[in-house]
């Protein structure tokens, strides 16, 4: 994997090429909002209906709605805040929230390089199991861990997570991304996916 070297804490992005269509928006969430989302995950994640590729629970909107509807409504409001930033940055048509989760990976966990709406098959890109996802938003909730940066290998770009940071980009193969191994601590995020197809929108 070819990526640029990391930079110090004052600069969240290291790159050799321009970011172009990647939105990097600091302080999209306040610290107390990040702390609250972490607390929701720690309280309810064992009730989650799905798990990630590391077999870690993914706290989805519907599970949260079933046990804490007030908090679920608040989380949905956060997704709309992210949506507006992505719409403005990418000059998109109207977007709808397709899904959102609160996630956590721990020491030893990673995510291989992938696209969010496509997969490689016999040397070409084809739709994957979530082709309705048009834009990806990743909100970072903490930074008290090591490793686990967000890497765009084809763009020579590394983004260092910090609380409240939103990263937004199209979900296709032009933005293949990966998360190298977390070396220590727990890495909390709120991934949100958006679609231009209203029929694929998350049901409130």
- State the pTM of this model: 0.91
- Please list the alpha-helical segments (H only) found in 68-169: 69-90
**What is the rounded average pLDDT for all residues in the chain?**
92
**For residue 21, what pLDDT is reported?**
83
Task: Describe the crossing of helices 69-90 and 31-44 by its angle, rounded to 10 degrees.
Answer: 130
- Domain-located, residue 45: yes
Look up the CATH number of the domain holding residue 64: 2.60.120.620
**For residue 155, what pLDDT is reported?**
93
pLDDT per residue as tens digits for the range 42-93: 999 999 989 999 999 999 999 999 999 999 999 999 999 999 999 999 999 8
**For residue 186, what pLDDT is reported?**
98
How many domains is the chain built from?
Answer: 1
- Domain-located, residue 82: yes
**For residue 14, what pLDDT is reported?**
53
**For residue 12, what pLDDT is reported?**
60
Q: Which residue has the higher pLDDT, 120 or 1?
A: 120
**For residue 144, what pLDDT is reported?**
97
DSSP annotation string for 51-92: E-TTS-EEEEHHHHHHH-HHHHHHHHHHHHHHHHHHHHHHT-
The number of angstroms, rounded, from the C-alpha of 53 to the middle of its chain's C-alpha atoms is 14
Q: Is pLDDT at 10 greater than 70 in this prediction? A: no
- Tally the C-alpha atoms within 13 A of residue 43's C-alpha that lie toward its C-beta: 11
**Domain enclosing residue 95, as ranges:** 22-200
- Closest to 60 in 3D by CA, of 50, 74, 70: 50
pLDDT per residue as tens digits for the range 12-30: 655 545 566 899 999 999 9
- Domain-located, residue 17: no
């Amino acid at each position: 994997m070819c990526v640029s070297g990391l930079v110090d804490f004052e600069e969240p992005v290291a790159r050799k090429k321009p970011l172009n269509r990647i939105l990097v928006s600091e302080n999209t969430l306040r610290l107390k909002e990040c702390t609250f989302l972490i607390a929701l995950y720690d309280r309810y994640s064992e009730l989650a209906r799905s798990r990630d590729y590391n077999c870690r629970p993914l706290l989805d909107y519907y599970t949260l709605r079933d046990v804490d509807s007030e908090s679920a409504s608040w989380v949905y409001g956060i997704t709309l805040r992210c949506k507006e930033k992505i719409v403005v940055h990418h000059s998109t048509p109207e977007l709808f929230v397709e899904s959102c989760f609160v996630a956590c990976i721990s020491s030893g966990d990673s995510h291989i390089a992938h696209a969010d709406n496509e997969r490689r098959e016999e040397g070409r890109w084809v739709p994957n199991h979530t082709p309705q996802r048009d834009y990806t938003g990743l909100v970072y909730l903490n930074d008290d861990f090591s490793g686990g940066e967000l890497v765009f290998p084809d763009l020579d770009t590394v983004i260092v997570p910090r609380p409240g940071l939103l990263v937004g980009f199209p979900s296709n193969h032009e933005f293949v991304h990966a998360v190298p191994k977390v070396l220590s601590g727990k890495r909390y995020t709120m991934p949100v996916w958006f679609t231009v197809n209203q029929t694929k929108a998350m049901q409130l």
